[in-house]
Amino acid sequence: MVGSVHVNGSLNGANGTEERLDELRRLLGKSEGDLLKIVSVGAGAWGSVFAALLQDAYGHFREKVQIRVWRRPGRAVDRSTAEHLFEVINSREDVLRRLIRRCAYLKYVEARLGDRTLYADEILRDGLCLNMVDTPLCPLKVVTNLQEAVWDADIVVNGLPSTETREVFEEISKYWKERIAVPVIISLAKGIEASLGPIPRIVTPTQMISSATGVPTENILYLGGPNIASEIYNKEYANARICGSNKWRKPLAKFLRQPHFIVWDNSDLITHEVMGGLKNVYAIGAGMVAALTNESATSKSVYFAHCTSEMIFITHLLTEQPEKLAGPLLADTYVTLLKGRNAWYGQMLAKGELSPDMGDSIKGKGMIQGISAVGAFFELLSQPSLSVQHPEENKQVAPAELCPILKRLYRILIKRFVLCIKIMDMEICIL
């Protein structure tokens, strides 16, 4: 510490928080008494935590900022999850007291007994996320009407899975037709689509949003790890990068930065989004390797070497001027391979506790985004027009032929072959 400023540049606690808020308000042209409106669209683990971080940091400035979360209504909480929620609540005295003060505790008692049904938007208002029930958050302002949530929002956070981003933002575009001021959008989504014609190319979430809404790419940014949502909210030290135009990324990095959550900025938007999608692909394989080798450090390190080689090859192939793949980019991959829902999914597959036929939305975990990303990357890299020279054979091959891990994950997750397949000479049987 040097005075009230950390050596890494983040401001300490309340000192500077209001100044950062005022600085962003001025940049967005907000006048005195005019609320800065921030909404997180989507309430998965990361989207909810991101909104909760902002609420914790700035929510007490009620005359200056409004922070809300949109999620779809009607998602019921099953009884086993309600019972677990009750246990979590009673293990945390601060949460228990808060719910009692809000006269909300009784409904969790009744839900545990099966006397009433809880809903995901209802528990989120109490600070409990359906995809992350073991990590209570602060209470959040939840809106279930999409038009009400976004029509005059200044900053929109995309907390949706990449597979839902286009559809929801096409709906949002209907409510923005008469807008004068263009909003700023921060995308947290990690995944891609493959566009195969007329020229094969990737489509990232920020590109989906721009295409769906007409918001210029200058106003759309991507924020990525390395981080795990629950650990960030528990104030474990974390880093992130916000990528996009110079106009917005630097002031937003400053606004989002907290003592335990250090946000840097970078101009290379596409490379970071591509890596954000790829890391979920290879995390599934990492989970399989961990389960098959009883968490062997040697086997996992060998897998890490192989998968990062493929990731570097793919990223250099798909981005025109990729940033050097080191530091935070590889760290984001590392943390996802260690502890993320995609790695967990790979472990459950290898242990036979899940099967590909169960789909990509898993109870208590949410969307396993690596599955759709496997399909998108493989289909794109199988296009003959992207062929490259084989390093050992004198012939042109589709890039997918040089990505054996991706190829095998595609056979397991997308083709769903009922046979034994090898990843790095380790046999995986999908029954």
pLDDT in tens, the chain (431 residues): 333 333 333 334 455 899 999 999 999 999 998 999 999 999 999 999 999 999 999 999 999 999 999 999 999 999 999 999 999 999 999 999 999 999 999 999 999 999 999 999 999 999 999 999 999 999 999 999 999 999 999 999 999 999 999 999 999 999 999 898 999 999 999 989 999 888 888 899 999 999 999 999 999 999 998 888 999 999 999 999 999 999 999 999 999 999 999 999 999 898 889 888 999 999 999 999 999 999 999 999 999 999 999 998 998 888 766 666 666 677 888 888 888 899 999 999 999 999 888 888 888 888 899 999 999 999 999 999 999 999 998 899 999 999 999 999 999 999 886 545 455 555 554 43
C-beta of residue 53 within 8 angstroms of C-beta of residue 233 = yes
Structure tokens at 333: 């991959």
426-429 and 420-423 as β-strands: parallel, antiparallel, unpaired? antiparallel
- What pLDDT sits at residue 271? 86
Query: One of 30, 235, 279, 407 is an active-site residue; which one?
Result: 279
Write down the architecture of domain 271-429 according to CATH. Orthogonal Bundle (1.10)
Q: Is 279 a catalytic residue?
A: yes
C-beta of residue 421 within 8 angstroms of C-beta of residue 411 = yes
CATH number of the domain located at residue range(s) 14-73+141-267 in this protein:
3.40.50.720
- What pLDDT sits at residue 178? 87
For 96-142, write each residue's pLDDT tens digit: 999 999 999 999 999 999 999 999 999 999 999 999 999 999 999 99
Structure tokens at 178: 């008469």
For 214-236, write each residue's pLDDT tens digit: 999 999 999 998 888 999 999 99
For 3-44, write each residue's pLDDT tens digit: 333 333 333 445 589 999 999 999 999 999 899 999 999 999
pTM for this prediction: 0.89
- What pLDDT sits at residue 326? 61
Residue 295, sorted as left (phi over 0), alpha (psi -120 to 50) or beta, turns out to be: left
Backbone angles phi, psi at 247, to 5 degrees: -60, -40
* Run of H or E including 288: helix 269-292
- Integer Cα distance of 179 and 185 in angstroms: 15
Helix runs in 176-268, H state only: 205-213, 229-233, 246-256
- What pLDDT sits at residue 425? 56
Residue with tokens 């890490």: 304
Q: Where are the domains of the chain?
A: 14-73+141-267, 79-118, 271-429
